[in-house]
């Protein structure tokens, strides 16, 4: 019984099959983790999602920006009432991915599967953390997991559509002001109605529900979380997220920018293994012994890479062949 982690698949199903053959992956006994972006740009989204769906008990896939973008299009499509408008919407999309998925008899099941994927993966026994883009320098692992769970709850709730319509905003790029506003608001509410807030809010153990306090603050929190967990590459010196630069770290000329993993994070223990994908320009070069970069750009004619998490520095890979 082994646990493996594969980088961004992006619908490159043929390469995934070859890679799993190479390690003799057995879905009856082994486990597979992915760094997210299982679809997007690549040739075989349907085959990839069907594979994940078939083996859903043995696979955990964290959500990437492309996965969320597909869910967003699915929401916008579903909200349209007449068939002509729906078809027009599909025609106007840059990619035929959603149309291909909806054409399948189990298309909705695939999309529902994706909607129930987690934002982060944490193995507390083995100290392994996975998210699509990495760990914000403003966050501990616990912060990432807690805020990620919050987004997961919204994704699965009636507020799903509102989040889909508003996410991918570049405005929420720093955590500190959002965290401070949450604390201030809780203090104010506590003064107004201590009894109500005592039941609704327990900030310390993270089980608070402040949707009732401020839907817009709630949304800001979700958007920052999605930005940090699925879109981050470089951060500014004030730790805010940058959304423009996709260069290789060496080629970046902006002195104010550094890759997120270059900022000293006092909340991160050395024994913690952190695995991420998303940044194909890193070409799979690990930033450190405990930070593993797994996206080797299969969809860009690179390769698909995988590790056994008990031997995280040994790579298995298959060159792009689509």
- Binding footprint of Mn ion on the chain (CB under 5 A): 37, 64-65, 278
**249 φ/ψ sector (left φ>0, alpha ψ -120 to 50, else beta):** alpha
Q: Which is nearer to Mn ion, 210 or 279 (CB)?
A: 279
Q: Which is nearer to Mn ion, 213 or 232 (CB)?
A: 232
Instruction: Report the residue number whose CB is nearest to Mn ion.
Output: 278
Q: Find the shortest distance in angstroms from Cβ 7 to Mn ion.
A: 10
Strand partners, 59: 32
Q: Please, is 301 exposed, middle or buried when counting C-beta atoms within 10 Å of its C-beta (0-12, 13-18, 19+)?
A: exposed
Q: Find the shortest distance in angstroms from Cβ 226 to Mn ion.
A: 12
Q: Find the shortest distance in angstroms from Cβ 112 to Mn ion.
A: 21
What is the number of other CB atoms lying within 10 angstroms of the CB of residue 309? 18
Q: Which is nearer to Mn ion, 25 or 36 (CB)?
A: 36
Q: Find the shortest distance in angstroms from Cβ 229 to Mn ion.
A: 10
Q: Which is nearer to Mn ion, 64 or 148 (CB)?
A: 64
Q: Find the shortest distance in angstroms from Cβ 23 to Mn ion.
A: 24
Report how far residue 150's alpha carbon sits from residue 155's, in angstroms, rounded to the nearest whole number. 9
- Please provide the distance, in angstroms rounded to a whole number, between the alpha carbons at the two ends of the chain: 30
Evaluate whether 177 touches 78 at the Cβ level (below 8 Å). Answer: no
Report how far residue 114's alpha carbon sits from residue 112's, in angstroms, rounded to the nearest whole number. 5
Q: Which is nearer to Mn ion, 115 or 278 (CB)?
A: 278
DSSP 168: S
Q: Which is nearer to Mn ion, 38 or 197 (CB)?
A: 38
Evaluate whether 218 touches 210 at the Cβ level (below 8 Å). Answer: yes
Report how far residue 73's alpha carbon sits from residue 43's, in angstroms, rounded to the nearest whole number. 18
Q: Find the shortest distance in angstroms from Cβ 270 to Mn ion.
A: 27
């Amino acid at each position: 019984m082994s646990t493996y982690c594969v980088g961004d698949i992006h619908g490159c199903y043929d390469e995934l099959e070859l890679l799993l053959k190479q390690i003799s992956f057995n879905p009856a006994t082994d486990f597979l983790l992915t760094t997210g972006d299982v679809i997007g740009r690549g040739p075989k989204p349907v085959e990839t999602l069907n594979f994940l769906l078939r083996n859903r008990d043995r696979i955990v896939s964290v959500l990437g920006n492309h996965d969320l973008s597909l869910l967003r299009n699915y929401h916008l499509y579903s909200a349209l009432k007449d068939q002509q408008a729906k078809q027009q919407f599909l025609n106007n999309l840059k990619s035929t991915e959603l149309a291909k998925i909806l054409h399948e008899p189990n298309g909705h099941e695939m999309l529902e599967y994706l909607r129930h994927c987690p934002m982060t993966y944490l193995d507390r026994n083995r100290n392994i953390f996975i998210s699509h883009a990495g760990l914000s320098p403003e966050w501990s692992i616990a912060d990432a997991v807690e805020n990620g769970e919050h987004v997961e709850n919204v994704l699965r709730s009636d507020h799903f559509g509102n989040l889909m319509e508003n996410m991918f905003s570049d405005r929420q790029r720093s955590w500190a002001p959002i965290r401070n506003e949450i604390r201030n608001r809780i203090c104010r509410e506590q003064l107004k109605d201590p009894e109500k807030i005592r039941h609704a809010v327990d900030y310390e153990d993270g089980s608070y529900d402040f949707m009732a306090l401020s839907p817009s603050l709630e949304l800001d929190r979700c958007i920052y979380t999605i930005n940090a967990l699925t879109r981050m590459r470089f951060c500014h010196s004030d730790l805010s997220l940058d959304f423009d630069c996709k260069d290789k770290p060496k080629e970046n000329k902006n002195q104010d920018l550094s890759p997120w993993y270059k900022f000293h994070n006092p909340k991160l223990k050395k024994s913690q293994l952190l695995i991420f994908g998303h940044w194909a320009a890193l070409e799979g070069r690990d930033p450190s012994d405990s930070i593993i970069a797994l996206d080797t750009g299969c969809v860009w004619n690179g390769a698909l890479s995988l590790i056994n998490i008990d031997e995280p520095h040994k790579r298995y890979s298959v060159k792009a062949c689509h």
